[in-house]
Structure 1
Amino acid sequence: MIERSHLPLTTWFLAMYLISQSKTNMAALELRRHLGVSYRTAWLLKHKIMEAMHQREATRSLGGDVRADDAYLGGERTGGTAGRGSENKVAFVAAVEMHDDRPYYVRFDPVASFSFKALRAWGERALTPGCQVTTDGLLGFEVLSQMGHTHHVVVPPRGKAGTEIPPFRWLNVVLGNVKTALSGTYHAFRFRKYAARYLADVQYRFNRRFQMADMVPRLAVALLRAKPCTRQALQAPAELGT
């Protein structure tokens, strides 16, 4: 990622610090002001760092007590399709690994749909064998029991917020924070194209929230180990889960 960059390492390290230590997300426009570079350069830096986060988090599997839910990111565009069929909406699975009834690790994975095929592929890459997974009544999640996981279904009562339902309380708190952080930071971005990276940014920081002092050096190592990405590759259409 850093190889052949014309920027000084101090700029890279400052960008890593600002992005990793932010309590929410940091827009490229704000990053530009801090770094004193052009918007084009700030955007490229931000996406390279987020891509390194994405590649690093892709290898993380959740285990033990896992709570999972289906979610959507993005809103309707003027003149576009309304509802879940909107061209700017991205389906993703939000999952949290629980320890002592508290959230420990999370995963946010864009998927093409919530079909059996897509959720099987998600389970293969996101879960360790033999998890105890709690979900709502979404039909597609039934594939998890076929994969050898213990699958508990809790159908939420009508009229109750997700945070009022004990098994999903923390999952919905985390999910709400993710959506608030993204909507509060960015005026607009192409959700279908870049959702995986923006979600990985939140996931990477959440999963290391108790190791803030190590965040920058660990992110530097992730950047050095990441597969190189050109601007063209970073701007290419995203490949959602099967």
Structure 2
Amino acid sequence: MTQEKNGISALELSRQLGISYNAAWRMKHKLMKAMKERDDEKPLGGFIQLDDAYWGGAQHGPRGRGAKGKCPFVAAVSMNEKGHPMFMRFSVVKGFKTGELTRWAKAHLKPKSLVISDGLACFRGIEQAGTFHLPLVTGGGAQSVKLPYFQWVNTMMSNVKNSIRGTYHSISKKYLPRYLAEFCFRFNWRFNLKKTFEQLIYSCIRAAPIPEYLLKLAEIRW
């Protein structure tokens, strides 16, 4: 879970460890929960690319914004002074409303960060968290994702979605925050793969015990 960029399914984990699927599922979800809690302790700062994203199976009708049955999440990638991606945070939200984005930003962005987003009105909510916000009207459509201002956040979204589909095929929306956190954790600690494993162990030691029924409820979004 810390070394393979595409992750490992609970089914494959059960095969490799020689344990039942249910035991492997519990183990994996406790590890993903610990990953999320560890990364959530470190808000993103500096220059940040921000975008709205959606998860859900193929359905007829509109795509992206306005599509029914999709699970909305915020995608954010912080950059260094050379424009290279450093850290990312993907968080499931109730919806793209101003108040929801304000609450999310207060939890996940450092004050005085410079955040660039498209012109979606709700993104102005992050300004209430003390960030500097630069909204760009992109016009939407397929060409908007090719703009250099959003290169890395769109690249990361595409990579994560493809990896989840390839490894897990189908996941419940209520567990999506954990799966997103798993990919973010590996990305955020990628510069030292040995330390990635050590950080996961450390995170598990610090994590509070959780009974199976709460693990399955998965009520926390961000």
TM-score normalised by the chain length of structure 1: 0.84
For residue 84 of structure 1, give the secondary structure of its aligned residue in structure 2. Answer: coil
For residue 85 of structure 1, give the secondary structure of its aligned residue in structure 2. Answer: coil
- In the alignment, structure 1 residue 235 sits paired with structure 2 residue 216: yes
- Mapping for residues 45-194 of structure 1, pairs under 5 Å: 45-75=27-57, 84-86=67-69, 89-99=70-80, 100-191=82-173, 193-194=174-175
In the TM superposition, residue 145 of structure 1 has moved relative to its aligned partner by: 2.8
Partner residue in 2 for 1:23: 5
Inter-partner Cα distance in structure 1 for 2:195 and 2:218: 33
Distance 1:136-1:224 versus aligned 2 partners, 3 A rule: same
Partner residue in 2 for 1:211: 192
Where structure 2 has 5 or more consecutive residues not aligned to the other structure, the ranges are: 61-65
Match of 2:179 among 176, 198, 208: 198
Distance 1:31-1:141 versus aligned 2 partners, 3 A rule: same
Partner residue in 2 for 1:44: 26
Inter-partner Cα distance in structure 2 for 1:213 and 1:73: 31
Where structure 1 has 5 or more consecutive residues not aligned to the other structure, the ranges are: 1-18
Larger Rg: 1
| 2:5–2:183 Cα contact (<8 Å) kept | no
In the TM superposition, residue 75 of structure 1 has moved relative to its aligned partner by: 1.8
Identity of paired residues, percent?
38
Inter-partner Cα distance in structure 1 for 2:138 and 2:30: 39
Inter-partner Cα distance in structure 2 for 1:220 and 1:158: 42
TM-score normalised by the chain length of structure 2: 0.91
Counterpart of 2:183, as a letter, is V
Off by >4 Å, runs of 4+ in structure 1: 157-160
In the TM superposition, residue 39 of structure 1 has moved relative to its aligned partner by: 0.7
In the TM superposition, residue 77 of structure 1 has moved relative to its aligned partner by: 7.2
Counterpart of 1:197, as a letter, is R
Inter-partner Cα distance in structure 2 for 1:42 and 1:219: 17
In the TM superposition, residue 238 of structure 1 has moved relative to its aligned partner by: 2.2
Distance 1:218-1:70 versus aligned 2 partners, 3 A rule: same
| 2:110–2:131 Cα contact (<8 Å) kept | no
Distance 1:124-1:240 versus aligned 2 partners, 3 A rule: same
Matched positions, count: 217
| 1:162–1:169 Cα contact (<8 Å) kept | no
Inter-partner Cα distance in structure 1 for 2:139 and 2:98: 24
